[in-house]
A and B are shown apart, each in its own frame.
Chain A
Amino acid sequence: MPLTSEKMQVQTTPEDHRIAWLTALAISIHLLESAFPSPLPGFKPGLANVITIVVLMQFGWRTAVWVSLLRVLCGSLLLGTFLSPGFILSLSGAACSLAMLWLGSKLPGQGFGPVGYSVLAALAHMTGQFTIAWLLFIPHPAVWRLFPILLTAALLFGCVSGIIARAMCQHRLPCQT
């Protein structure tokens, strides 16, 4: 039997490379962030969001979806939380914020800037996550008392991420051709 000398080749496009590059960056931030202790469950700066916003601003919503969902998937595999409640919350938050970003990007005129997108994404992420947490894990009305506090935190962290994203948008990313 002849040995097959030909290597398995997967055809990749520059778009794939770009997504891989950006996702790797987002995963790194995600992992670094998870090492920090959190004072409250659900209380996280969400700096990986910065990458999603920058990608959205520079490469469009489709690429942002890839980067965001791959980040959630790979991040959970690396942290060992795949299919755990934390993963489900993370995924629902990401899905909700992507949906809001899609709506936001359809805005006529000048539309949102990085800060607006980031705040929108952070608030949508928190709201989606919270609703799922309430529906699936803690169906108790008292949970909603936490909601304004977490939403305030999301607003602040969203602003900070947005400012970082704006600073990043002013530079050329190495993956940009």
Chain B
Amino acid sequence: MTRADRILLVFVVCILPFLYARTWSPDEQARYVQIQAGDAEPIAAELSPDRILQVHGPLGDSVIEIKESQVRFLESPCTGQQCVHSGWLSAAGELAACLPNRISIQLLGQHPLFDAINF
């Protein structure tokens, strides 16, 4: 091995952890949850303390649970229960929606991940 070989190897071995750190860093921490019901202005809710919110929609009240900086639909008056099955949202940008009851929740961080999502 020549000196250039060694320098190259050391350089690459030093660069690799940096690359891993950059591409595999955890998702952005969510700061608050945005709740939208019907055509009303979305409201922002803090992620602490842990609590349970009731949001009124055309079908009745959807129950939203906030726990340890995560959020989920706990109960919903809709038939499909897709929103409940979405489970816990934990990373910024994640979204769950109940279309029949016209309620959506989305975790937001400092930088919004998406402008819009189509289903």
What is A's interface to B at a CB cutoff of 8 Å?
Answer: 104, 107, 109-113, 115-116, 119-120, 123, 144-145, 147-148, 151-152, 155, 159
Contacts and interface: CB of A to CB of B under 8 A. Distances in A.
Given A144-B23, A145-B24, A116 B1 contact: yes
B23 A147 contact: yes
A115 B16 contact: no
B5 A152 contact: no
Contact of B16 (A113, A120, A145, A151): A151
Interface of B: 1-5, 8-9, 12-13, 16, 19-20, 23-24
A145 B3 contact: no
5 closest pairs, A vs B, by CB?
A116-B5, A148-B19, A113-B2, A148-B20, A110-B2
Nearest to B15: A151
Given A123-B12, A145-B24, A151 B19 contact: yes
A159 B19 CA distance: 20
A110 B24 CA distance: 38
30 contacts: A109-B3, A110-B2, A110-B4, A111-B2, A111-B4, A112-B2, A112-B5, A112-B8, A113-B2, A113-B5, A115-B1, A115-B9, A116-B9, A119-B5, A119-B8, A119-B12, A120-B8, A123-B12, A144-B23, A145-B23, A145-B24, A147-B19, A148-B19, A148-B24, A151-B16, A151-B19, A155-B12, A155-B13, A155-B16, A159-B9
Contacts, number: 49
B3 to A, nearest CB: 6
Interface of A is mostly: helix
B16 A152 contact: yes
B18 to A, nearest CB: 9
Contacts of B19: 147-148, 151
B5 A115 contact: yes
Given A110-B3, A144-B23, A152-B16, 13 more contacts: A110-B2, A112-B2, A112-B8, A116-B2, A116-B4, A119-B5, A120-B8, A123-B12, A145-B24, A148-B19, A151-B16, A151-B19, A159-B9
Nearest to B3: A110
A119 B9 contact: yes
Contacts of B9: 115-116, 119, 159
Contacts of B8: 112, 116, 119-120
